[in-house]
Amino acid sequence: MKKVLFTDLDGTLLDLFDYSYDVALPALDALKKRNVPIIFCTAKTFTENEYYRKTLGIDDPFIVDNGGAIFIPKNYFSFRFDCKKRNNYCVIALGASYGELRAALQAIREETAFKITGFGDMTAEEVAKDANLTVAEAKRAKKKEYNESFIFDEPGEKEAVLFERIREKGFAVTHGGRYYNIHGEDADKGKAVKILTGLFEKEYGVVKTIGVGDSRNDIPMLNAVEQPALVKNKKGTWLDISLQNLYKAKGGGPEGWVEVVEKFISNE
């Protein structure tokens, strides 16, 4: 049976603190040898995804900006489907535009005086410092199209007010490893996973989907796959969710990721 792996990047395939992935390289090779698609499903931008795909030699579709859009390489599937052509990709967009999202954050800031700082308010140097990225990495991280990441510098109890304001404006919010993300209501990792799974099923018949993540913004993805898995987060524990047949890896970040790949793909 065709297996398809959906994976978060930050804190899952990539180490949360230094974005390293060396420990995962042999498992990545094993997946490629078995022709298991490795689908990035991440808050990262198109430009960041392209960078990691190139670096890791992955040619499969990917989900950017927390489910904002699905990029499918041209001719990846043997059939036609509805999408927008963009260079060598076929794009299915689910999210609101960056301009709309920035405007909503600006309005909330004016209404509430909350300390909200988006990537769009920061220079590449500031993003680099805050996210522990190089300036080149920060420039890629700032190229958002369907999502805006922001720092919410307020006491925890104000989070509910923030979430309410975002919903009132017709958008959605998620909280990832480091940042909050505002995005379109229809942009969610789960919807994107379901659309892509449908395309894989059309191509291969029955497929088995495995999803691996570490934090709250992964919940829709974990709900949309047959075999959900969590790696340990920065606190050395797992995201507190109850999901049927959820696998909890003993390792954090890429170490846990390798464990998941071995358990459900390489050793099966």
Q: Pick from 29, 34, 68: which is nearest to 49 by CA? A: 68
Shorter beta-carbon distance to Mg ion: residue 177 or 256: 177
CB of 257 to Mg ion, least distance (A): 11
15 counts as binding Mg ion under rule CB under 5 A: no
10 binds Mg ion (CB under 5 A): yes
User: Smallest gap, in angstroms, from Cβ of residue 99 to Mg ion?
Assistant: 26
Nearer to Mg ion, 187 or 207 (CB): 187
CB of 32 to Mg ion, least distance (A): 22
Site for Mg ion in 140-199 (CB under 5 A): 177
- Which CB atom, from 108 or from 219, has the smaller least distance to Mg ion? 219
Residue type, 260: V
Nearer of residues 108 and 211 to Mg ion, judged by Cβ: 211
49 near Mg ion (CB under 5 A): no
Q: Lay out the sheet containing 180-184: strands in order across.
A: 116-118, 147-152, 180-184, 171-175
Q: How far apart are CA 206 and CA 249, in angstroms?
A: 26
Q: Is 48 in the site for Mg ion (CB under 5 A)?
A: no
65 binds Mg ion (CB under 5 A): no
Q: Verify binding: residue 215, Mg ion, rule CB under 5 A.
A: yes
* Residue pair 54/157 in contact by the 8 Å Cβ criterion: no
* Beta carbon of residue 225, minimum distance to Mg ion (angstroms, whole number): 15
Task: Identify whether the C-beta of residue 65 lies closer than 8 Å to the C-beta of residue 140.
Answer: no
Q: Are 199 and 192 within 8 A, CB to CB?
A: no
CA distance 256 to 105: 35
Angle value at C-alpha 229, between 264 and 133, nearest 5 degrees: 115
Residue from 8, 15, 60, 148 binding Mg ion (CB under 5 A): 8
Identity of the residue, 181 or 227, whose beta carbon is nearer to Mg ion in the bound complex: 181
What distance in Å separates the CA atoms of residue 98 and residue 84, rounded to the nearest whole number? Answer: 18
DSSP for 169-222 reads: TTEEEEE-SS-EEEEETT--HHHHHHHHHHHHHHHHSSEEEEEEE-SGGGHHHH
Q: Please compute, for residue 148, the number of CA atoms within 13 A of its CA located in the half-sphere on the CB side.
A: 24
Closest contact distance (angstroms) between CB of 226 and Mg ion is: 20
And the tokens for 215? 């934090």
The residue from 214, 252, 259, 261 that contacts Mg ion (CB under 5 A) is: 214
Is 218 an annotated catalytic residue?
no
When asked if residue 66 is in the footprint of Mg ion (CB under 5 A), the reply is no
* Residue placing its CB nearer to Mg ion in the complex, 66 or 227: 66
Of 8, 10, 214, 218, the active-site residue reads 8
Distance CA 245, CA 235 (A): 23
Judged by CB under 5 A, the residue of 7, 11, 199, 219 near Mg ion is 11
Task: By CB under 5 A, name the binding residues for Mg ion.
Answer: 8, 10-11, 177, 214-215
Q: Which positions are annotated as active-site residues?
A: 8
